[in-house]
A and B are shown apart, each in its own frame.
Chain A
Amino acid sequence: AQTVTQSQPEMSVQEAETVTLSCTYDTSESDYYLFWYKQPPSRQMILVIRQEAYKQQNATENRFSVNFQKAAKSFSLKISDSQLGDAAMYFCAYRNRDDKIIFGKGTRLHILP
């Protein structure tokens, strides 16, 4: 069974600074997807970024980028130029061949003004 581990329950970053959220996963599959989701206080799940396992190039979406290390099964999220609106719970997630999404326990990100 696949597992997703986020070892940082909470993190804080100064506004305009850069922060990296860590995520590791375990799987025996070779083809899968990885995601970072943001859950603000409204609790609506928002897709931040997605990475296809067979692509070596790290995904980027504006201020958000990932460092995908397939061999190490590591998938960290870097947020550049942090903004107050980035404050939320961030979930790392793995999607397997059965299309099921397994979520990590989440990292609560605080943005300090």
Chain B
Amino acid sequence: GAVVSQHPSWVICKSGTSVKIECRSLDFQATTMFWYRQFPKQSLMLMATSNEGSKATYEQGVEKDKFLINHASLTLSTLTVTSAHPEDSSFYICSARVTGGFGETQYFGPGTRLLVL
């Protein structure tokens, strides 16, 4: 089946620094990727939709200047948490959709745990 990877799997950083998380579709092309955030013992909340070659679409309440998303190729999307603060500590998950439009399966990455000290 289709595989989505994320790197790093976990990261600890100091407050004020920026952290980049990569999401890769390993064996398929993904025109669209999605970024989610999951707080402990809570559900996944969609942060943004990333389309290859265009600007990401952010959900209401998500700061686009805080969470920079770049989808430079059909297999890679990156999420950069800029000037990270302790409240940004969370579990970040990406998913990638096989090119083809509505109805195509989305595959989830294993997630990245971010801890900001």
List residues of A whose CB falls within 8 A of some B CB.
33, 37, 42-45, 47, 50, 52, 91, 95, 97-106
Contacts and interface: CB of A to CB of B under 8 A. Distances in A.
B93 A105 contact: no
Contacts of B108: 37, 44-45
B110 A105 contact: no
Contacts of B103: 33, 52
B43 A100 contact: no
B43 A104 contact: yes
A31 B96 CA distance: 21
A37 B44 CA distance: 11
Given A91-B43, A104-B43, A99 B97 contact: yes
25 contacts: A33-B103, A37-B108, A43-B38, A43-B110, A43-B111, A44-B108, A44-B110, A44-B111, A45-B44, A45-B93, A45-B95, A50-B105, A91-B43, A91-B44, A95-B106, A97-B102, A99-B49, A99-B106, A100-B34, A100-B46, A100-B49, A101-B95, A104-B43, A105-B42, A106-B43
A50 B93 CA distance: 20
Interface in B27-43: 32, 34, 38, 42-43
Contacts of A37: 108
Contacts of A100: 34, 46, 49
Contacts of B45: 103
